[in-house]
Amino acid sequence: RSVKDQRIDRAVGVGKKIVGAFGHSWKRQRALQAAQKELGLPEHKLITECCTRWGSKQRMIQRLLEQEKAITQVLAADKTTRHLMLTWQDIQVLDSVSAALSPLLEFTDAFSAEEYVTISCVKPVLQMFNNDLLKVKESDTPLTKDIKTAILDYMNKSYKDSVTERLINMASLLDPRFRTEYFSESESKAIKVQVMSELEHLVSNQGSTATGVSETLPTSAGDQTSQGAAKKPKKSLGSFLKGPVSGKTDVTAERLLSELSSYVNSPPADSECDPLLWWKVHTVNFPNISRLARKYLCIPATSSASERLFSTGGNVVTCLRSSLKPTSVNMLVFLTKNLKT
C-alpha cells in the first residue's frame, strides 16, 4: 500500500521487463553468467515478481541491484535490448525502496510460518519497527522516508482496532518469553484484568460442564430402566461420595490472582525457546493460565496458512476431479495438508 508512486511503478516495471528479457533467452542468460564471472559478482539468476508471493518484489529489486553492472553490460551489447537498461534515476528509486523494505523481508517470512507460535510476536515486532527498523534516519532519501512513514502509519492503524489489540496483548502476555515486557504500566494493569476475567470464565465453564455431565448420567440410567430393567439398581457407597467436597475444589479469585502473579513475576524464558514446549513443562505450575495459553497461542499471525490451504484446494480439485462432492473435497484437502508419510 505504501509503494504506490509513479517513480516506483516505472522502475519496477522496467525491472520486470529486464527479468523477462533474460528469462526468455538462453543466450542472454549465458552472457549474464559470463559477465558475472568477469565482474566477480555472485552467479545468481534474476528473480521475477509474483503477486501471490509476499516479498517477491523486494527480492527482485535486491537481485537487480546486486547484478546491475552485469545486466547493464549484457543489455548494452545488444541494440535490441539497450532501451531496457536502468537509468540512474531508476537505480536511485530501487535503492530507496530496498532500503525501506529490506528490514521487513525476514519478518514477513517468519510470520508466514505454521509450525511455531507467531501471534505473540506481533506486539514486540511492532515496537521494534517503530523504535528502530522503520524509524526515519537522517541518511534516508526522501522516498525512503515517505515509504517508512506510510508503512508505519498503515501498520499502527491496522493493529489499533480494539479487538485486534486485545488479542495481540493477550497473546504477548501468555508467551513466557515476553509476558509484560512490552507493556506500559497502564497497559499491564488493563491486560491483567482481562486475563483474570477470562480465567474466571474458563473456571466457571469447567465447573458447569462437570455438573452437566453428572446430571446427565442418572437420566440415561433412568431411560434404560424404563426400557425393560427388572429392578432399580442399588446405589453403591462410592455414589454417595462422588460429589465435590465443599470448600476444597472451588477455584477462588484469590487463587487465580496468585497464579497470575506468580507467572508474571517468574523469570522469563529464553528468547529461542518454544513457548508451547515451555507450557507443556509448566502446566503443573500454572494449570489455569496454561488453558488460556492453549486458546490464544494457536492463532496464526497472518493469513498465509489460509492462502496455502486455498492453493492446496486448487491442486486437489483439478479438471479430472471436477465431479467430486464437497465432502470428498474437504476430506482430500484435509488429508493433503495433515497426512505425513
User: Does residue 156 contact residue 178 with C-beta atoms inside 8 Å?
Assistant: no
| Rounded CA separation 170/119 (Å) | 10
Position 266 pLDDT exceeds 50: yes
**Who has greater pLDDT, 170 or 231?**
170
What pLDDT score does 240 carry? 45
Location of C-alpha cell 440410567: 221
- Average pLDDT rounded to a whole number, residues 161-186: 92
pLDDT band at 237 (very low <50, low <70, confident <90, very high): very low
Tell me what pLDDT residue 289 has. 94
Provide mean pLDDT across the span 288-304. 90
Asked whether the predicted pLDDT for residue 304 surpasses 50, the reply is: yes
pLDDT, tens digit, 9 for 90 and up, residues 18-65: 999 999 999 999 999 999 999 999 999 999 988 777 788 899 999 999
CA distance 140 to 315: 44
Could you tell me if 60 and 21 are in contact, meaning their C-beta atoms sit under 8 angstroms apart? no
Mean pLDDT of the chain: 84
pLDDT of residue 93: 95
Q: Is it the case that residue 221 has pLDDT exceeding 90?
A: no
Q: Tell me the DSSP string of 7-37.
A: HHHHHHHHHHHHHHHHHT-HHHHHHHHHHHH
- Report the pLDDT averaged over residues 252-276: 91
pLDDT band at 99 (very low <50, low <70, confident <90, very high): very high
Residue 117 to residue 276: CA distance in whole angstroms: 8
Average pLDDT for residues 258-262, to the nearest whole number? 93
Give pLDDT, residue 213. 45
Quote the pTM value: 0.75
As a whole number, mean pLDDT of residues 108-137 equals 89
- Say whether pLDDT at 153 is over 70: yes
Q: Which residue, among 147, 118, 121, 123, has the nearest Cα to 135 in the 3D structure? A: 147
Domain boundaries, the chain: 1-103, 113-212+253-299, 304-338
Place of cell 489455569: 288
Angle at 158 between CA 154 and CA 163, to 5 degrees: 170
